[in-house]
Amino acid sequence: MVETGTIPARSGAAFDVRAGHSVRIINTHGAQVVDFFAFNAAEPLEHLSMPHTHAALNRVVPQPGDTLTSSKRRAMLTITEDTTPGVHDTLIAACDPWRYQELGVQGWHASCAENLEKALKEKGISIGFTPSPFNLFMNIPVEDGSLSFEEPLTSPGEYIEMRAEMDLVVVCSACPQDILKINKQNPTEAHYEVR
Contacting residues toward Zn ion, per CB under 5 A = 95, 112, 175
> How far apart, in whole angstroms, are the C-alpha atoms of residue 138 and residue 89?
5
How far apart are CB 58 and Zn ion at their closest, in Å?
27
How far apart are CB 94 and Zn ion at their closest, in Å?
6
Q: What is the DSSP letter of 24?
A: E
Computed on alpha carbons and rounded to an integer, the radius of gyration of the chain in Å comes to 15
- Between 175 and 194, name the residue whose CB sits nearer to Zn ion: 175
Residue type, 43: E
How far apart are CB 13 and Zn ion at their closest, in Å?
14
> How far apart, in whole angstroms, are the C-alpha atoms of residue 70 and residue 90?
14
Q: What SS3 class is residue 67?
A: strand
How far apart are CB 98 and Zn ion at their closest, in Å?
12
- Between 31 and 112, name the residue whose CB sits nearer to Zn ion: 112
CB atoms within 10 A of CB 143: 7
How far apart are CB 177 and Zn ion at their closest, in Å?
5
- Between 166 and 176, name the residue whose CB sits nearer to Zn ion: 176
- Between 37 and 163, name the residue whose CB sits nearer to Zn ion: 37
CA-to-CA separations, 170 to 59, 61, 84, 125, 144, in angstroms, rounded: 23, 19, 21, 12, 34
Residue type, 140: I
- Between 103 and 142, name the residue whose CB sits nearer to Zn ion: 103
